[in-house]
Chains A and B, each alone.
Chain A
Amino acid sequence: MDTITASPSNPTAVPTDLHHLLQRITGDEKHSPAAHSTLDVLWVLYDRILRIDPRHPDDPNRDRFLLSKGHGPAAYYAVLAAKGFFAPDWLDDFAAFESPLGHHPDRQLVPGVELSSGSLGHGLPIGVGVALALRARRSEARVFVLVGDGELDEGSNHEAIAVAGRWGLGNLTAIVIDNQSSSLRWPGGLAARFEVEGWTGRSVDGRDHDRIEQALSVRPPGHPNVVVMEVEPR
C-alpha cells in the first residue's frame, strides 16, 4: 500500500494528498472544526514521533496512541489511511452501516485504532493503566493520549492526572488540543493543572510542525509530560 510522507518542498505543512483523503470523508468545502483542530498534531505524531509499523499494528513494542477526544475523527482516519493502516477507499462511505469508520472510532473495527472513544474522559485513565502495564513489563514503549481542553471538564481526567504525576509515569504523554472549548475555561492555564501534580508541561503552537515534534520528543525521566497544543478557538 502506498503511504504518504511529508512533501520535500514544504516539509512543515500537511501534505496535499492528506487533504485529499480528508475531503473523501468530509466532502469538499465541508470541514468539521473539531477534525481540523487535531490535523497537524496527528500528522506530526504519525509522520515523525510514533514508533508504529502499520504492517504490525499489534507489535508489543510499538508506541501506543490513544485518541480520547474521539469526536470529529476525520483527520484521524485520514492520517491512518495516509500511513497505510487501511485502504483509502474505506473513507468513501464514512459512517455508513457497513463502514468500519464511524463518527467515533472503534478499535475492534479499525486497524491501528488503539481506543474506542466518543464518551469524554475515558482515554487518560485507560492510558494510565496502559502506562502502568508497560512499566510492569519493563517496556520502552511510550503512551500518548490526545484529549481536548473541553474534555478536561470531565472529572475522571483529574483522577488520572493526579495518579500519573504522583507515580512519575515517564512513559506517558498527554496531548491537549486547546481550542478553548471548555465552557468555564481553565484559569491559570491548562498545563498548570498537570504541573501541580508533578507533570512537566509546555504549550506550543498546535499548527507548527517543528515545535510539535520538539515538544513530543521530550521524555523527561520520572515525570509524565503534557503538551498543550494551542489552536484557533472553536
Chain B
Amino acid sequence: MTTLAPPSMRARFTETTTTLLDIDRRIVVLTADIGAAGFAEARRRHPDRVVNVGIREQLLVGAAAGFAMEGFRPIVHSYAPFLVERPYEQIKLDLGHQGVGAILVSTGASFDASAEGRTHQAPADVAIVSALPDWEIYTPGHADELDEILRRSARHTRNVYIRMSSESNVAPRSTVGIEVVRRTEPGQPAVLAIGPALDPTLEATTGLDVGVLYSSSVKPFDGAGLRGAVRGTSLVVVEPFLEATTAGLVNEALADRAMRYTYLGVQDRELRHYGTPLEHQRAHGLDAVSLRNRITLAARS
C-alpha cells in the first residue's frame, strides 16, 4: 500500500495568500527574506502590497502594524523563532497595544528544522503568544485546515498566530473547536491531540480503550466542547509544542471535575542533537511508540 504524503502547508500558504492578494485589496504580505521567493510573481502584480524588508524582523512586525493602522490586513511570515521570539515586543506593543491586528504565519514549528539546531526551533512560540491578550492561535494539522483558517482570518481584523509545520496529518479535520475523532465510553480516559500531534496519537492508541479528540485551535479554546467530550476522569493532552502550554486552558474548562491530567509535549530542555524530526519526537517521547507507552501508563493509573 502506498500512502500519498499530505500536501505541504508552506506551499499552500503561498498559494492561498496569493489568491487572497488577488481578490482582496486590503491584504498585504510582509516577509523578511524567508519565504519571499514564493511571492515573486504576486509582487509583480501587487508591488505595493507584497513587501520584503530583508532580514529585519523588528521592522517586519512594526511595518505590518503601520499597514494595519491604515486599514490594511497584513499577513506576516517567517520562521517561528524569527517571527515570534525575536520581535516579541513588537508583537506585544506594535500590534496588541496599538490595538491593531495582523495575521502572523510561521513555519518551522518545534523541530521541523531538526538538523539546524536550537536557533531554528521555537517550541515555546505558542506559549509566549498565549501570554498576550486577545490573540487567536491555530496549529493546523493539514494544509486544508491552514487554508480554511487563513481565509477566515483574512476576513476580520483581530490578531492571529498560525503555526505551520512540515509534520502533517493524513486527513484534514475541523478548524473550529474540539472534534471527536474516536468516541469514548463513559468512564474511559480521553486523549486530546493538538494539530499535527493527531496522527502519531491515533497510531499510538490503536486498540487502546481511550477516546481521541482533536483541536487545531489553541485560542479560542473550545472548553464547552471538551467538557462534552470528556466522559472519564483521566485526560491526556498531546501537544506539538512546549509541554503543558495548554494546561491553563484545559484546567479552566474542567475546573469543577476531579480530573487527572497528563501533558505530553516538547520538553523544556536544550536537546543539543541534530538529526531528523522523528528522532526529535523520540527524544521528547512524542513518537507513536513512546506515546503508546506513556498514554497506557497515564490511562491505567
Instruction: Tell me whether A125 and B58 are in contact (CB under 8 A).
Output: yes
Chain A nearest CB: distance from B83 CB in Å? 15
A6 at the interface (CB under 8 A from B): no
Cβ < 8 Å to A, chain B residues 40-81: 48-49, 51, 53-54, 56, 58-59, 61-72
List A contacts of B89 (CB < 8 A): 119, 122
List A contacts of B65 (CB < 8 A): 126, 129
How many angstroms from the CA of A180 to the CA of B199 in the assembled complex? 60
List B contacts of A121 (CB < 8 A): 58
Chain A nearest CB: distance from B131 CB in Å? 17
Instruction: Tell me whether B66 and A130 are in contact (CB under 8 A).
Output: yes
Q: Which of B94-102, B172-180, B216-224 forms contacts with chain A?
A: B94-102
List B contacts of A160 (CB < 8 A): 59, 62-63
* Given known contacts A116-B93, A159-B56, A163-B54, A122 and B62 CB-to-CB distance under 8 angstroms: yes
Instruction: Tell me whether B97 and A116 are in contact (CB under 8 A).
Output: yes
Which residue of chain B lies nearest to A115 when distances are taken between CB atoms in the complex? B98
Instruction: Tell me whether B58 and A156 are in contact (CB under 8 A).
Output: yes
Q: Which of A7-15, A131-139, A182-190, A214-222 forms contacts with chain B?
A: A131-139
* Given known contacts A160-B62, A163-B59, A130 and B53 CB-to-CB distance under 8 angstroms: no
Instruction: Tell me whether B49 and A129 are in contact (CB under 8 A).
Output: no
List B contacts of A88 (CB < 8 A): none
Instruction: Tell me whether A127 and B66 are in contact (CB under 8 A).
Output: yes
Which residue of chain A lies nearest to B59 when distances are taken between CB atoms in the complex? A159
* Given known contacts A135-B48, A136-B72, A160-B59, A128 and B93 CB-to-CB distance under 8 angstroms: no
Secondary structure class of chain A's binding surface, majority of residues: helix
Chain A nearest CB: distance from B93 CB in Å? 6
Instruction: Tell me whether A128 and B63 are in contact (CB under 8 A).
Output: yes
| B interface residues, tally (CB under 8 Å) | 28
List B contacts of A16 (CB < 8 A): none
Chain A nearest CB: distance from B192 CB in Å? 36
Instruction: Tell me whether B66 and A107 are in contact (CB under 8 A).
Output: no
Of A124, A130, A135, A156, the contact of B69 (CB 8 Å cutoff): A130
Chain B nearest CB: distance from A149 CB in Å? 19
B90 at the interface (CB under 8 A from A): yes
> 26 pairs across A/B with beta carbons < 8 Å?
A106-B97, A107-B99, A108-B99, A114-B69, A116-B99, A119-B93, A122-B89, A122-B93, A126-B65, A128-B62, A128-B66, A129-B62, A129-B67, A129-B68, A130-B69, A132-B48, A132-B51, A132-B63, A132-B67, A133-B28, A135-B48, A136-B72, A137-B70, A159-B58, A160-B59, A162-B54
Apart from A126-B69, A130-B70, A156-B90, what are 10 other A-B pairs with CB-CB below 8 Å? A107-B98, A126-B62, A129-B67, A132-B51, A136-B49, A155-B58, A156-B58, A156-B59, A160-B59, A160-B63
For the complex of A and B, list the 9 residue pairs with the smallest distance between their C-beta atoms, beginning with the closest: A129-B66, A125-B62, A129-B63, A133-B70, A136-B48, A159-B56, A159-B59, A130-B66, A156-B58
